[in-house]
Copies of this chain bind each other. A is one copy, B any other.
């Protein structure tokens, strides 16, 4: 069962959740798990089809607008809907809300990458038929969304199959919920809608960005049928009519193209692509082959808990489905599974999701990193606009590089995102060892990020300080010397200097010219790094989250009623800011990412202290606490936190899965396994593991890539096995000792007692 996720519940709430859980995608195209024929009258569906980064712009309204507040926001646009298939039998249209459902099952098959729905249905007037709906968004032809319906009437009947392409779509707005702004729901309009030959062709264009999206849809029925077409209100439909008592198969190819990526004729592109598509079975076979390779590369295995194994596969599956793979898109906070967070990219990618790709799918990781690199110009512009004379300030949330955050205390003020991006570049370099990457991407980004710190930081009492930022914890905004920010800034400054040393020679000379590196800049970065102020509190023996955090009143979490969580929905931000109360890991995250030079006892006290004041109201929190618990040897607590991440969406514990999946939490689950239980860290010394295995599991295994090697790590009950599947001999640190593995061989190591 662990390759399948099944959910047959049909309550209104669960239907919306299932639309997210059963969303299909490939990083370019995403189709929510809506049902082909729609729900019954009065039911709500968030019917969505998204092309990653395909967006419109909407004005941001402010009651009081100050200088350099962004004027517009980008918004992922719900695009042309090609999901719809209606099936009528003797004039009665199939619907899950009408007639009798004799049996029903809806299953996501993660091994073959298909969503399949089986229904044994009896129409209101008593005609029975079996239906099987299959669909997938192709991993091998990114523009392709395929559907198939097998129809098996119990007796001969008049069957009409209608396939529709609907260009008259809007983003979701709930007329019953005034909090969902409906003003900006309609973001595009139909510019072309026709039937031509065997094809349905619909083109839409967004209102402000003038981006076009096009669908070329074709279909066929396995038995002779009359075909008619109909064009109306921005919808193109085809109807197939036949009389049969046999099983018939309806197959449909939908190809999506857009002008965000390609300037040339998007109709022509779509036509060329659809012509090359194979049959459903052929395309499905390619899909399965792709996924087989993916699962082999990830190699994730947990023995002793099938439901957990299933949940973890589900997370990796959605990570794969959500990641932009073309260098001009990234991973939206909700993947391509919903409209929450407007399809924006956050630091979630770099800190929570990129490690998975980096360690298992480095070519996707590089595309994600190239995307960030492409924003550098915009980040430099943004820094100027805000008031910095030098450097690059990456936007807190964006699609194409403009700041889309409308609330700067928990948006633009999170300057750490620039350090997070630098961190991810450094990690990518450490994992790949690719010096050309430093030359082509990393040096420039780290240089501009370092310049930002130099522009905004200053010396006081011999230490370098960074004032007026917000760290990861959004319940404490606009502070001075946020530990996380400062330690991450130090890291980017150190590595900026190292980058210049690494490339050296002619390359350095060319870059010096291009980046107008001034005399003494490198020395200044090194000095700022060396003298970086990291607030430390003697009384508690911990690093303070910021200059004043530990002086504030402690929030009485114990006596806060359950219904007051998440706190941000129940208290004014000023009230939250006034207390020691954290939405998520902040200093603890800093210790996880950069433990060098931090005493283990400090990390332990820090963990204990911040755990008591953290609500985990953010889905980015549990995994960090899990990893740090593992790091500090408290395996069972690590397990408890881990379990809360493992089924967050499947069990809808945050109550908003309908708006889309929590992709960062999904990445965090993988982190918790690999960086938490296996204790992986990657630094200049190579790989280090500090494995621990929770009691609940018989074993846990995963695979990673590192500098040309392909390594499998298995945590058994009694020992750890390092198995080098491919590549040159590799020395790794197992706790404090060095272990060398050779290709095709394995070594065993023990747990620390």
Contact = CB atoms under 8 A, between A and B. Distances in A.
B553 A458 contact: yes
Contacts of A411: 64
A321 B615 CA distance: 53
Given A62-B407, A67-B568, A387-B574, 8 more contacts: A66-B407, A408-B573, A409-B409, A413-B574, A456-B578, A458-B553, A547-B547, A547-B551
A411 B411 CA distance: 19
Contact of A412 (B66, B407, B574): B574
A465 interface: yes
30 contacts: A61-B62, A62-B406, A63-B405, A63-B407, A64-B407, A64-B411, A66-B407, A66-B573, A67-B570, A67-B571, A68-B572, A386-B571, A386-B575, A387-B574, A408-B573, A409-B409, A409-B478, A412-B572, A413-B574, A456-B578, A460-B551, A467-B552, A467-B553, A467-B577, A468-B577, A477-B478, A478-B577, A480-B548, A547-B547, A548-B548
A60 interface: yes
B66 A468 contact: no
A569 interface: yes
A105 interface: no
A387 B571 contact: yes
A386 B552 contact: no
Interface string A64-77: 10111110010000
Contacts of A387: 570-572, 574-576
A571 B480 contact: no
Contacts of A64: 405-407, 411
Contacts of A478: 409, 477-478, 574, 577
A460 B480 CA distance: 19
A574 B465 contact: no
Contacts of A568: 66-67
A548 B467 contact: yes
Contacts of A575: 386-388
Contacts of A467: 548, 551-553, 577-578
Interface in A547-563: 547-548, 551-553
A385 interface: yes
B569 A67 contact: yes
A709 to B, nearest CB: 44
Chain A contact-residue range equals 35 or more
Nearest to A573: B66
Interface in A434-469: 456, 458, 460, 465, 467-468
A189 B575 CA distance: 40
A63 B406 contact: yes
A178 to B, nearest CB: 10
Nearest to A456: B578
Contact of A62 (B62, B480, B551, B569): B62
A385 B574 contact: no
Interface string A37-78: 000000000000000000000001111101111100100000
Contacts of A573: 66-67, 408
A456 B460 CA distance: 31
Contacts of A571: 67-68, 386-387
Given A460-B551, A547-B547, A574 B63 contact: no
A564 to B, nearest CB: 10
A386 B456 contact: no
Interface in A502-552: 547-548, 551-552
A208 to B, nearest CB: 16
A385 B548 contact: no
Interface centre among A66, A458, A553, A574 (most CB of B within 10 A): A574
A62 to B, nearest CB: 6
A408 B569 CA distance: 16
A572 B578 CA distance: 23
Interface string A619-652: 0000000000000000000000000000000000
A357 B694 CA distance: 74
B63 A386 contact: no
Contacts of A578: 456, 467-468
A574 B478 CA distance: 8
Nearest to A477: B478
Given A456-B578, A478-B478, A480-B552, A386 B572 contact: yes
Interface in A566-612: 568-578
Contacts of A552: 458, 460, 467-468, 480
Contacts of A412: 572, 574
A405 B62 CA distance: 11
Contacts of A413: 574
A74 to B, nearest CB: 12
A653 to B, nearest CB: 21
Interface centre among A67, A73, A406 (most CB of B within 10 A): A67
Nearest to A569: B67
A729 B86 CA distance: 98
Nearest to A406: B63
Contacts of A570: 67, 387
A569 to B, nearest CB: 6
A280 to B, nearest CB: 44
A650 B548 CA distance: 45
Contacts of A577: 467-468, 478
B66 A63 contact: no
Contact of A408 (B547, B551, B553, B572): B572
A60 B62 CA distance: 7
A460 to B, nearest CB: 5
A392 to B, nearest CB: 15
A463 to B, nearest CB: 10
